[in-house]
Chains A and B, each alone.
Chain A
């Protein structure tokens, strides 16, 4: 029997219009090598399925406790799942009629995922849209993608890859022929600061960027503007120089918001709440100005 390769996603969103050209379906893969403190999708970090608890939906019937075979249910109002015991089998989810417990993480075989995204193919074709691989880090599932993407290309669908840049270069080589566009994150230029806020040094990320620019011209740099963390003059000017070194003249700037913080409690994420109080709108606009002073065309996504 052949070995079955599957990938895990935490969400699939249709009608995304800011993740590349046209109307797109964005696949959020689960699993990420970074642990950015400002992460908007903390449920994307862990490569395994998890149970999320929505306390405000719970009517405290505790049917979940009876259903759990691993004694992983905590009988409390605000907390429900003991992550050390939970296997994310989903038994509690299926007895919860109030949708207070939700299984985060769905496994897909390549063909199943293909069928799922094909539902909106008519819209992709009409709008010159397609699918966007996001996450998490899609390249965590490079083996899966090397099976899945050829099927997608056969259906004439545009593919955009969003990556944090933290991957072993041969992984991306495997799928490059099936990709039309890459959005590449450049978060912080200083390796130490990068490690402080994301859990890893950026050496690998910057090196991969240099290689990929050569192999793949349709590469677009992006930067989430996190006020007080990476919007300093120094970081912006270093980023601009880095881009110019590789003859890239533009960057997408993404608005930071605190939405991810609410999700942390629900899933016992690896990161601690991290609140940014300063005005992220303002930070975004001034970052744009400074990039433009450095002759880099900055496009805002808010």
Chain B
């Protein structure tokens, strides 16, 4: 049921096929070259900023260079068509626990040759004592405790221990002035900082980083030129020569054309992903900052709309070649080989006027045509978004593209402004990673710094600070349930455990924050974020204009529904006493009668104000624990209501909850109702969602909603879809991700993975191939209520 009159070109079809057919694998180059640099004793005495910049140079200058057939946009993140790198100084050693399992494991198998395995094993002894998490604490005892906590991750999980990234760089500036421009600026500032060693070294490192990025492009120019000379196909030879011309220009110099702008951006994308954590490096508002190049080229008749679209498609496919390498444990938390490279279209511009343009429409067509796991496409919507733009969005969603996810300027701009961002900067936001809004080019917000397990805090509150069945107190002491006589007693215990848990989280997080600043500055990333050059300070030290850190409250709906259940079952209906309830939970609700009773109690997402209020309460309680807390970069800790895929892992290890969820079953994802508990259809769910003030979640909300394709088909379905989300956004909804699929397709895909090798589903803030998910995650996706069936 599509009215589309477009489709990918043959070249794009071939490129897509080649990338989708490639088996993902591990590339050892980054790890080995990084090691070579740090093993050299001469390098070890250098300033850390300079070390990182030089190590990055070494990698970019020596990694293998490839230009694949049909390519227009070039640059390879790894030596494989689809591949990932190991970061031995960050989470690399943890990841390498799986080194022998990579090819054989069920979820996200990765190819690796025997030779590469051996080479990677050989660097472990060097890095073991240099592991950042181990060096984060002064005391070795604390360091080991932190490392163990990270490995188990029961109460909280510190993502920053693998590096930070999560940035929407100032690509507008890079494209315009080139690395030469940045180099010149750093040079000028360095001359003024002769007396400040920290600043001087920082500028020195930026200069090295800028130069090495510029040279990276030149390497491709050479390879393309050589290839052109031996290429027999005249057409291809011409293409290779134009690739050579483009790469000899960018990223070193400012881009003069749309083609050069895209190529410049992609080289930077590779370099930032190489410098630190290869996660959530986000091009952001490409339709906005690339438009001047597009407009000029169209006007001068050197580019057609079709050519521009082919270039964007080629770029989009390149983004899918970059994958993260995780071990099985991290995969449970960040499933689906997802690395959060957000590209955003639409929304208001810095001047407050609608910025939607022809490129926005081209990007929407590309999303519909490609449907690949990366980039993570987002579309901004505001009160005056053109109807044509919105119609197109709902059309491609209804077609089953599962992209883009939608963001509401009406909520997000005021939130950022309230947090101290200038209005023009707030208007220039883009989501990064999953769903976290940041000011493009100006913000170094470690948006996915850490996550907290909220239902676990309730488990501790129901057992005087101990896990069910445990003698050791891992929480803090609170009132025994025997003495609890009203719901307020439970609330006090919960709030106390939450505050204690947050305190532990922040202690670990801040140690890691400092360690990142000390051991792993990121000069390349910093030179692409406004403020760092001016302040002469790395982004990890707080050089950026805006510095936030995001902490996610995971399981917020499970905790809310559980508190409501306690109030209703114990204190109002008196169906159970507190000790009876806790005993049933300790036995994992093995008695079906009590389980069904608890499951049958009203739940969030059914348009019931008295129930929804409890989810709201958990959000408030969580925010209270972050009040007035500052990160070590001088910024605020913000609250995120999304869960990536950790709701599945934490659901597996957190005890049964009063909402009827048993241990082993996933929590509700983000701010969505619990699995199968949204029983009154999407309008009721949206009413519940709108009852929560989304602006409380200054680090973003993830609200997944699934529709059966049979309901949303045709014009009627699309119109209905558009109208209910218009309403949701008008009333203060911040974000949504709409999945339109036929459940039978998913069941078939689960039972026979070969039947649908490239079936794309929305997971939590991003899209993933269904076959890339763990069996449990697959089941969860299937279970999520298929609304309207």
> Residues of A at under 8 Å CB distance from B?
13-15, 17-18, 22-23, 59, 61, 97-99, 119-120, 122-123, 126-127, 129
Least Cβ–Cβ distance between A15 and chain B, in angstroms? 4
Query: Are A17 and B731 in contact, CB atoms less than 8 angstroms apart?
Result: no
Q: Which of A18, A98, A120 contacts B683 (CB 8 A)?
A: A120
* B596 lies within 8 A of A99 (CB): yes
**Distance in angstroms between the alpha carbons of A61 and B607 in the assembled complex:** 32
Q: Is the CB of B716 within 8 A of A123?
A: no
**Residue in A closest to B593 when the chains form the complex, CB atoms:** A97
Question: Assuming the A-B contacts A23-B683, A119-B607, A122-B731, are A17 and B596 also in contact, with contact meaning beta carbons closer than 8 angstroms in the complex?
Answer: no
In the complex, what's the smallest C-beta–C-beta distance from B620 to chain A, in angstroms? 24
Provided the pairs A17-B717, A18-B716, A23-B720 are in contact, do residues A123 and B681 lie with their beta carbons within 8 angstroms? no
Q: Is the CB of B593 within 8 A of A126?
A: no
B684/A14 in contact, CB under 8 A:
yes
Smallest CB–CB gap between B419 and chain A, Å?
29
Which of chain A's residues has its CB closest to B722's CB?
Answer: A127
Within 8 Å by CB of A14, from B681, B717, B719, B723, lies B681
A13 to chain B, nearest CB (A): 7
Q: Is the interface of A mostly helix, strand, loop or mixed?
A: loop
Shortest distance from the beta carbon of B113 to any chain A beta carbon, whole Å: 53
Q: Say yes or no: A23-B681 contact (C-beta < 8 A), given A17-B716, A97-B593.
A: no
Residues of chain B within 8 A of A97, CB atoms compared: 593, 596-597, 600
Whole-angstrom distance between the Cβ of B732 and the nearest chain A Cβ: 12
Instruction: State whether A122 touches B720 (Cβ < 8 A).
Output: no
Given contacts A14-B680, A23-B723, 16 further A-B contacts (CB under 8 A): A14-B681, A14-B684, A17-B711, A22-B723, A23-B683, A23-B724, A97-B597, A99-B600, A119-B607, A119-B683, A119-B684, A120-B687, A123-B724, A126-B724, A126-B730, A127-B719
Asked whether, in the complex, the Cβ of A59 is within 8 Å of the Cβ of B683, the reply is no
B-to-A contact residues, CB < 8 Å: 592-593, 596-597, 600, 607, 680-684, 686-687, 711, 716-717, 719-720, 723-724, 726-727, 730-731, 787-788
Query: Closest CB-CB distance, A255 to chain B, in whole Å?
Result: 12
A15 and B593 contact, Cβ closer than 8 Å, known pairs A22-B720, A99-B600, A123-B724: no
B788 pairs with A126, CB closer than 8 A: no
Q: How far is it, in angstroms, between the C-alpha of A129 and the C-alpha of B726 when the chains are bound?
A: 14
Do the beta carbons of A127 and B683 come within 8 Å of each other?
no
Contact A15 B681, beta carbon cutoff 8 Å: yes
Query: Complex: how many Å from CA A17 to CA B682?
Result: 12
Of A13, A22, A98, A123, the residue contacting B596 (CB under 8 A) is: A98
Q: Which residue of A lies closest to B711 (CB)?
A: A17
By a CB distance below 8 angstroms, the chain A residues around B787 are 15
Point out the residue from B592, B596, B600, B682 that lies within 8 Å of A15, measured CB to CB.
B682
**Which chain A residues border B682 with CB–CB below 8 Å?**
15
Lowest 5 A-B CB distances belong to which pairs? A127-B723, A17-B720, A15-B681, A97-B597, A14-B681
Q: Is A123 touching B683 in the complex (CB atoms < 8 A)?
A: yes
- Nearest A residue (CB) for B721: A17
Q: Give the distance in Å from the alpha carbon of A14 to the alpha carbon of B683 in the complex.
A: 7
A/B interface sample: 28 pairs, CB < 8 A = A13-B681, A14-B684, A15-B681, A15-B682, A15-B724, A17-B716, A17-B717, A18-B716, A22-B719, A22-B720, A23-B683, A23-B720, A98-B592, A98-B596, A99-B596, A119-B683, A120-B683, A120-B684, A122-B730, A122-B731, A123-B723, A123-B724, A123-B727, A126-B724, A126-B726, A126-B727, A127-B719, A127-B724
Least CB distance, A302 to chain B, in whole angstroms: 9
- Chain B residues positioned under 8 Å from A127 (CB to CB): 719-720, 723-724
Distance in Å: Cβ of A77 to nearest Cβ of chain B: 17
Max chain A C-beta neighbours (<10 A), residue from B600, B683, B684, B711: B683
A15 vs B685: C-alpha distance when bound (angstroms): 11
Closest to A302 in B: B710
Q: By the criterion CB–CB under 8 Å, are B723 and A126 in contact? A: yes
